Amino acid sequence: ERDRTLGHQEPHWKEFHFDLTQIPTGEAVTAAEFRIYKESSTRLLNSTLHVSMFEVVQEHSNRESDLLFLDLQTLQAGDEGWLVLDITAAGDHWLLNHNKDLGLRLYVCRRHELYVSFQDIGWLDWVIAPQGYSAYNCEGECAFPLDSCMNATNHAILQSLVHLMKPDAVPKACCAPTKLSATSVLYYDSSNNVILRKHRNMVVKACGCH
């Protein structure tokens, strides 16, 4: 296992390596599964996680590795239990050619907690209530190929393709808000009138690749 954090630092992936050399020559893989135990998150119960698995098919010194999509699971942050991903295709490739065993990459894309304090940003001289609110933010890796469950736009899919060919000129697609909701704020306007207004696009409800 090559340790890469799945926390708040980029990139949001871990790489795993397996030794299949003990399997006799001529044997075939009928099924292979990658299992990882997920603990429940009490802080982000309503957040949706997109967990995708890729096989590393070729590594490059000057750009991102070539990846083959294997499986994707969508679950809630509050879920607990074994997450099972189908990696049969990777096992077949590795048995045919052990030199091609470059490992697996597990990616996570999700909504993270972000609390905005109006005091911290210097707005309490005109904002009456609330004192702050949960805005959330999106973090995660948008690795090619982008599955439909990753809420990818057509533009993001095409941008990812161009990035593979021109990694220095075109960046990868980004994990960004795909759905936002409003929140109400009570504040003083420029004439010192007390106003209650619902402001649009203040809270991230869902994330995807853009």
Give the pLDDT confidence score for residue 119 in this predicted structure.
Answer: 92
Of 185, 33, 202, nearest in space to 124 by CA:
185
The amino acid occupying position 76 is: Q
CA-to-CA distance for 175 and 57, rounded, in angstroms? 24
Q: What is the pLDDT of residues 130-157, one digit of tens each?
A: 999 989 888 777 777 776 667 778 888 8
Q: What is the pLDDT of residue 194?
A: 92
Chain segment 71-96, per-residue pLDDT in tens = 888 887 788 889 899 999 888 888 87
Question: With a threshold of 0.75, does the pTM exceed it?
Answer: no
Provide the mean pLDDT of the chain.
81
Residue 166 has pLDDT above 80, yes or no: yes
Taking only the tens place, the pLDDT of each residue in 17-50 is 888 877 777 777 788 899 988 887 766 556 677 7
pLDDT range class, residue 121, cuts 50, 70, 90:
very high
> Among 63-67, 101-105, 129-133, 164-168, which range has the highest average pLDDT?
129-133
**127 has a pLDDT exceeding 90:** yes
Note the pLDDT of residue 44.
Answer: 57
Question: What is the number of domains present in the chain?
Answer: 1
Q: CA 139, CA 18: separation in Å to the nearest integer? A: 28
- Whole-number Å distance between alpha carbons of 173 and 176: 9
Task: Flag whether pLDDT at 202 surpasses 90.
Answer: yes
Least reliable range by pLDDT among 101-105, 164-168, 187-191, 192-196: 164-168
Domain span at residue 54 reads 13-209
Within-domain flag for 115? yes
Share of the chain above pLDDT 90, in %: 20
Q: Which of 43-47, 116-120, 121-125, 160-164 has the lowest mean pLDDT?
A: 43-47
Question: Is residue 2 in a domain?
Answer: no
List the CATH number of the domain containing 168: 2.10.90.10
Inside any domain, residue 5:
no
Looking at the domain assignment, is residue 35 inside a domain? yes
Cβ atoms of 102 and 65 closer than 8 Å = yes
172: DSSP letter: P
Q: Is 6 a residue whose pLDDT tops 60?
A: no
User: Is the residue at 7 inside a domain?
Assistant: no
Give the integer Cα–Cα distance in Å for 84 and 91.
Answer: 15
